[in-house]
Amino acid sequence: MFKTLCIRSLFFAAITLAFIACSEEKKERIAMPTTDLSKVSLIPKPLKTTPTNSAFALDQFTAIYTSKNATGFEEVGTFLADKLKSKTNLTIPVNSEGANTIERIIYINQSDSIDIEAPEAYQLYINQDSIIINANTAEGAFRGIQTLRQLVPIESNDTLALQKIWPVPSGKIVDNPNFGYRGSMLDVARHFFSVDDVKKYIDLLAYYKINVLHLHLSDDQGWRIEIKSWPKLTEVGGSTEVGGESGGFYTQEDYKEIVRYAAERYMTIIPEIDMPGHTNAASVSYPFLNGNGKTPKLYEGMRVGFSTFDTHKDTVYTFIDDVVREISAITPGPYFHVGGDESHVTKKSDYIYFINKVEKIVQKHGKRMIGWDEVAIADVDSTSISQWWASEENAKKAVDKGMKIIISPAKKAYLDMEYDTLSKFGLHWAAYIPVDTAYVWTPEEYGIPVENILGVEAPLWSETISNIDELEYLAFPRIIGYSELSWSIKENRNWEDYKIRLADQAPFLDRMDVKYYPSPLIDWKKSDFTYETIK
């Protein structure tokens, strides 16, 4: 009996010793390395960063708590936990009451102290034992957790990696975007991209706080969205693409899934049906739409400006009404893009008549019309939006009409322009756009009054790209610069500083399997930022 007791005591003593040793080990772990928060390669650069000299230890003893009564906050917490799981393999509980052995907490709080007029604003406080994200809306909290994701190193240094600790440098970030509209456009008409491809692009855009994805859903070479009242659009018009491959289209369920996926990332989908030009695929499907009364053939080339709808037939407007109605019904965002570019074979007076009528149809279905800059020559409403891509004269007309402008100058912001003469994909009719040219400009420099600027959008036309790798080659890394151009104020943007932060995106892009263009202007880092250990 005595012997058993002794053995038992020894056993408990051993456990206690082990426990003490373990706590010692935990204490040991608190000797965290530090990195100056203001030196971490965040993109887009936050408004204001104040470093303090310590770090938060993200490890298995971390939990996330969110405001529970504020809409969307818990989902933002879960999104963060999922992303941290895939980065670190840590399972971090969200709002789990029973979680024990919790030592450090990430709070995601709804806070009225942040201006409701700035729905994307957030504050991020990183202390040794807590991280606090304050935002008025879940959208702001969502932008804030993107910053936090970027602050968690992909690999911590060797000692910390063994202990499965990811150090997050401490300090305070106060942030708010300069422009509320930060977008990219994807042309799924010249070449079709699957729902999964689009989702991957959305994920990458969201990481850089881009909040609009404009889908160019129709063009001469293809019609890419199911319209139930006009089924041949996709049966016939969706059957090919540039180069003659079999094309494809989104069913309405597919489109809803894209919209849902984007909304989960606080991103608005803008559908575009390009008209009255760029309409060959629609006219092949329903020849009565065609301006010259003939039945055209499917088109697999790369020319622009040769097609037009018949702007005089009532049935054409019935068709457009159905299309706008069906798409608007599954588009929660406020915008509908009607194209309107390069209607070279439409008479000017017919074009004006057409855009005036189509604007009313869009408004009837509860949306705000966006069009390429040409639409400003019609009698458009001040509530409609012009996407400036080519003509400064048209941009001025839009300003005179009181319209808001999306800044997309082809010479600076077209993602389908070649980087240089060695570029594997792309065109160069507007310019070669190397990574520095894409970054070193300001949306305000074209004389468009700031109050008219809605934001910036970088279009990716797909004549020369047919799969996600090629898409990524043209989009990355330039789109990362456009995210900073539209989020960060001018005073916070500087090429020398940016190119170092961009180089540090390589480990993330590699981990996401992004086939970015390895621009020789950038000294790409293949490993994550390093820490100096201080005890």
Residues that bind ligand NAG (CB under 6 A): 304, 341-342, 372, 389, 414, 416, 427, 461, 463
Selecting among 264, 342, 393, 445, the annotated active-site residue is 342
CB contact at 8 A, 473 and 419: no
Question: Min. distance of Cβ 408 from ligand NAG in angstroms?
Answer: 8
Nearest residue to ligand NAG by CB is: 461
Q: Which is nearer to ligand NAG, 99 or 304 (CB)?
A: 304
Give residue for tokens 């369920």: 253
Rg (CA), the chain: 26
CB contact at 8 A, 419 and 519: yes
Question: Min. distance of Cβ 414 from ligand NAG in angstroms?
Answer: 6
Question: Min. distance of Cβ 454 from ligand NAG in angstroms?
Answer: 17
Question: Min. distance of Cβ 336 from ligand NAG in angstroms?
Answer: 16
Q: Which is nearer to ligand NAG, 341 or 350 (CB)?
A: 341
Active site residue 342: yes
Q: Which is nearer to ligand NAG, 416 or 504 (CB)?
A: 416
Q: Which is nearer to ligand NAG, 134 or 386 (CB)?
A: 386
In 3D, which of 169, 145, 163 has the Cα closest to residue 59? 163
Q: Which is nearer to ligand NAG, 120 or 374 (CB)?
A: 374
Q: Which is nearer to ligand NAG, 310 or 341 (CB)?
A: 341
In 3D, which of 208, 199, 326 has the Cα closest to residue 263? 199
Burial (CB < 10 A; 0-12, 13-18, 19+), residue 2, is exposed
CA distance 357 to 347: 15
The tokens for 260 are 């849902």
Beta carbons within 10 angstroms of residue 113's beta carbon? 8
CB contact at 8 A, 487 and 178: yes
CA neighbours closer than 13 Å in the CB half-sphere of residue 305? 5
CA distance 42 to 53: 18
CB contact at 8 A, 526 and 507: yes
Q: Which is nearer to ligand NAG, 387 or 488 (CB)?
A: 387
Give the helix ranges, DSSP H, for 31-157.
Answer: 73-88, 138-151
CA distance 43 to 501: 7
Question: Min. distance of Cβ 274 from ligand NAG in angstroms?
Answer: 8
CA distance 150 to 167: 12
CA distance 149 to 154: 10
CB contact at 8 A, 140 and 173: no
Strands 335-339 and 181-187: unpaired
Phi, psi (rounded to 5 degrees) for 193? -120, 135
Q: Which is nearer to ligand NAG, 59 or 416 (CB)?
A: 416
Task: Please calculate the CA angle 16-20-21 and round it to the nearest 5 degrees.
Answer: 115
Question: Min. distance of Cβ 193 from ligand NAG in angstroms?
Answer: 15
Question: Min. distance of Cβ 350 from ligand NAG in angstroms?
Answer: 19
CB crowding 475-511: b at 16 or more within 10 Å, else e = bbbbbbbbbbbbbbeeebbeeeebbebbbbbbbbbee
Q: Which is nearer to ligand NAG, 341 or 457 (CB)?
A: 341
CB contact at 8 A, 273 and 338: yes
Q: Which is nearer to ligand NAG, 74 or 373 (CB)?
A: 373
How far are the Cα atoms of 97, 204, 363, 380 from residue 372, in angstroms, in the given order? 52, 25, 17, 12
Residues acting as catalytic residues: 342
